[in-house]
Amino acid sequence: MKIAHISDIHIDHVALPNRSEQFENLIINIFEEGFDHLIITGDVTDVAREEDMLLVKDIFERNGLLDWKKITLIPGNHDLFGKYEFNAERVLSNAIRASGTNSLKKLQIFCEIFRDVMTPNNTARYYFPFVKIFNGPGEGVAIVAFNSVFEFSLANNPIGSRGYIRTEELRAMLDPEVLDVLKGKFVIALCHHAYKILESAIAPYEQAFVWTMELINRSEYVDTLRKIHAKVALHGHLHKTETYEVDGITFMNAGAFKRDQTLVNSLKIHEDGGFSQKFLKFYSTVAV
């Protein structure tokens, strides 16, 4: 099974009118190259504009890809809150508009628009976590998706870029029935936020950067991934392509389409349960 992984598209049809065409060209090329599935780990839009979400949905639909078997997509902080604000007055305004039930409403809007590539459960209130099972190598492949977008808080998330996965989501994956479904599968976990920001943060500005970008409960996340026997964890958020190991789990950051419209994280799952990974460059319709 061949999976393509991209992230941080940052569609904005007003400020960046060409980006949607670049995005459409890339996903067409991905499937023409024989990939079975595309995963997008958040920040699909730049300023949380519904029109941009609908534009992306239309791109999927007109290319015959508005299908959970073809695409999996999760939100990033930009999809719910828009761009970072460092002006104190705007931070306060955003925090009021995007906290509590308002944050949940924003998530519901995103999930309703992209329901066809997330979960078909039309009674879901929160939508996460969700699991997709595919026939494939070995006993099959499971994609497990979490929402790591943390609501605005003047004390804990003033610019909206920190991440947190709700305890209820993590616990849900440890239900015996869920574990039984995942047993023997090649499990791929998804969230938007990165486990690792910097190797070491010594200077005050580095520490501040890590604090504003971090996945707050990353240890609990990894503990859950170990218990569900995840082999790979995909993410975005930090605009840097890299792979790294944490407790035997391979983390892969697809980087940002925003910075490089040709780059794809390619994951191939083998019949023996192993996998191979490389970053591909797509020029026109040729991957190199």
Over residues 72-101, the pLDDT tens digits come to 999 999 999 886 544 444 444 544 554 444
Q: CB within 8 A of 133, min separation 6: which ones?
A: 140, 141, 142, 181, 185
**What is the pTM (predicted TM-score) of this model?**
0.91
Q: CB within 8 A of 167, min separation 6: which ones?
A: 217, 220
Cα(100)–Cα(7) distance, integer angstroms: 26
Q: How is the beta sheet containing 141-145 ordered, strand by strand?
A: 130-134, 141-145, 186-190, 230-235, 249-254, 241-246
Cα(13)–Cα(20) distance, integer angstroms: 7
Would you place residue 209 in the very low, low, confident or very high pLDDT band (cuts 50, 70, 90)?
low
C-alpha gyration radius of the chain = 18
For residue 226, what are the CA distances in angstroms to 139, 170, 184, 209, 222?
Answer: 19, 12, 14, 28, 6
SS3 content of the chain, % helix, strand, coil (to 5): 30, 25, 40
Pick among 3.10.560.10, 3.40.50.10860, 3.90.226.10, 3.60.21.10: CATH of 2-287? 3.60.21.10
Q: What is the mean pLDDT of the chain?
A: 89
pLDDT score recorded for residue 284: 59
Would you place residue 151 in the very low, low, confident or very high pLDDT band (cuts 50, 70, 90)?
confident
pLDDT score recorded for residue 179: 98
What would the mean pLDDT of 167-182 be, rounded to a whole number? 97
Domains of the chain, residue spans: 2-287
130 in Cβ contact with 142 (< 8 Å) = no
pLDDT score recorded for residue 98: 46
